[in-house]
Structure 1
């Protein structure tokens, strides 16, 4: 079930306190994605994002998604501590009410040349638009089932890097993307971009688990990076965004 966030002119899929599972612009609005030419450390990134959004004549509550880069995969406790720090700025911007967070997010860890500290890679916000096509961002998801329990209890094929293990991880994550798209009434044919994050060779399963299912409609960007928590091995996100900038 989706929820309206009128202050940002978008709807979102509620998830956990640190992020939502996706955001879609209201009719009459579109999402603009802005990628930094080089990752920008978290505090400075928030400052630059605020400047950019306000220069576009938009409120900070229009911030609807972001893509982060971290130095290395976190422990479960470390990830929780990072998230508690991250949402403080969202609360100051009127986005996080202490429980619900409408901002979609991906957070991955480059295997080669990672940033020295958690940093912004890209962000998205809503702005008035005249286009008739919807725009949306689906948050990153790895091969971890939802619900209670620690990550080891929820990870699909935990620590199994066999060909069958990787296949099931990719299949699960692709299905998770499809479920989130369906929450908004969309499918792969509505996307303009899809991204995969892993340090493992997933090409042997790409045709059956991605291409035949339509996930590569607009190609696939592979980032040689790990998901944000130790022992997660494969992550994806996707979007439909007509306006993209690099700054």
Structure 2
């Protein structure tokens, strides 16, 4: 379900309690993507976001997407515990829309040079822009059905051979396609496609991802040697469409 967030200048696709499935700028607005020059502990990262938004005359509600990095994948109970603290902070910022957390999110564990604690890597926010094209951010998703945090539902759980990874990647690519369609967008508008896995078998992307991307292939595809945030998840993706990428 796509829900208006008029205070934020965007609409969001409902997800689960810690995050939405994606966000798309409302008419007269566009989404800006900002990457930190260096990691910050995630709570300090929110302080940086607050200062940045205040400096450009935007309210906190303009924040629409968060990208986190964690030291290693969580067990499912530990992931749920982390999310509880994250939700508490988001609520304290008065960002919820009714019972929904409207912000998109990606949270992955880098295989090399991981942070010592959960950190903020990047964020996205809306600004007013009368002539803006369609801009959006789709949340990271792994090989588990939508709206569940039950690790028993993981696709091909415990398997990382080429066939299993193709099935996982195809499932996640289909999730991206479904979320894009639900927001009234498509791969033709995507400017950034990110893949997160440590099991990059030969032909994996060609077999399970590139065929679905269509015109988005002209922008290439970025592979992060990282793991999804939950133990036993092996493949994650996110996508976005923005015209302004900045560093902060």
Q: Determine if the TM-score, normalized by the shorter chain, exceeds 0.5.
A: yes
Aligned counterparts of 2:149 and 2:135: Cα–Cα separation in 1: 33
Give the match for residue 242 of structure 1.
243
The 1:72–1:220 alpha-carbon spacing in structure 2 relative to 1, beyond 3 Å, is same
Residue 147 of structure 1, CA deviation: 4.8
Alignment-derived partner of residue 48 in structure 1? 48
> Cα deviation per residue 1:122-168 (whole Å; 9 max; x = unaligned)?
000000113341100000000011355721x2111111111110000
Q: Secondary structure at the match of 1:170?
A: helix
- Match for residue 17 of structure 1? 17
Offset, 1:97: 5.8
Aligned residues: 246
Provide Cα deviations, 1:24-70, integer angstroms capped at 9, x if missing partner.
Answer: 01111000111001111111101000000111111001100011000
**How far apart are residue 90 of structure 1 and its match?**
1.0
Alignment of 1:9-158 (within 5 A): 9-96=9-96, 99-147=99-147, 150-151=150-151, 153-158=152-157
Deviation of the 1:78 alpha carbon: 0.3
CA distance in 2, matches of 1:44, 1:148: 29
Query: Does 23-32 or 131-140 show the bigger shift?
Result: 131-140
Taking the aligned partners of 1:50 and 1:106, their CA distance within structure 2 comes to: 19
Q: Calculate the aligned-residue CA RMSD, in Å.
A: 1.4
SS state of the match for residue 86, structure 2? Answer: helix
Separation in 2 of the partners of 1:97 and 1:136?
18
**Which 10-residue stretch deviates more, 61-70 or 210-219?**
210-219
Q: Establish whether residue 233 from structure 1 lines up as the match of residue 234 from structure 2.
A: yes
Describe the superposition over 1:73-113 as per-residue Cα deviations: whole angstroms up to 9, x where unpaired: 00111001100101222111111368310000000000111
Mean Cα deviation higher: 124-133 or 227-236: 124-133
SS of corresponding position for 2:83: helix
* Residue 160 of structure 2: aligned partner: 161
SS of corresponding position for 1:173:
helix
Native 8 Å contact 2:15 2:146 kept in 1: no
Report the counterpart of residue 213 of structure 1 in structure 2.
212
Deviates more, 1:58-67 or 1:217-226: 217-226
